[in-house]
Amino acid sequence: MFPGVNSIWHANLVDCLDLTKRRTISPNAFEATCPLTKSGSQTTVIAKLARFEWEIPRIEQETQAYKMLEQTGLAPQFLGHIHEHGRVVGFVLEKLEGRHGGIEDLSVCKALLQRFHGLGLLHGDVNRYNFIIQQGSAKLIDFERSRYCPGEEEAMNAEMNSLRDQLVEDTGRGAGIIFKEIDADGN
């Protein structure tokens, strides 16, 4: 049997076959609908799952980070674990409405990252696409490279000092899948 995620801490378990994919975000993340209530009503979520065995440690890492971030307001709400025949292979998150961070959001992103570091966490990938801006506030996403490292001030300072450059970076690094709009003439 293939390995699965061991950090199973949330009460909700979502069968991967109950996810209805709506839009691809990255190779292993997508917007979907699934039943999360006893009534069976469909909820729009962000699903992230391991497609291959070597992706399990990343999902494990991110699952542990979401457990540490629960009730902090720093990240989307963790809504449950995704399983495949009982083996946990991913998770579902609250779908956030908003936009990605930019240089105009430096102060709010800096305050968010300071709070994150205050929990003893290093994000590991503070690209602009990992900040979701909503009505003057921000939330962080994508914790597969994060780690708990209280006292590592040098690493946290380096991450904070890189924030300005990350928010003006425009190569698309970290954006996931970017679809180019094509008009009727193929342009």
SS3 53: helix
> Cα separation of 25 and 37, whole Å?
24
| In-domain check, residue 183 | no
pTM: 0.86
Structural domain boundaries enclosing 32 = 13-94
CATH code for position 86: 3.30.200.20
| In-domain check, residue 73 | yes
C-beta separation of 59 from 4 below 8 A = no
State pLDDT tens for residues 147-187. Answer: 999 989 999 999 999 999 999 987 656 555 444 444 455 54
> Cα separation of 157 and 139, whole Å?
19
C-beta separation of 125 from 115 below 8 A = no
> Cα separation of 82 and 91, whole Å?
5
Q: Tokens representing 160?
A: 């904070």
State pLDDT tens for residues 51-99. Answer: 999 999 999 999 999 999 999 999 999 999 999 999 999 999 999 999 9
Structural domains counted in the chain: 2
Q: Tokens representing 148?
A: 């708990």
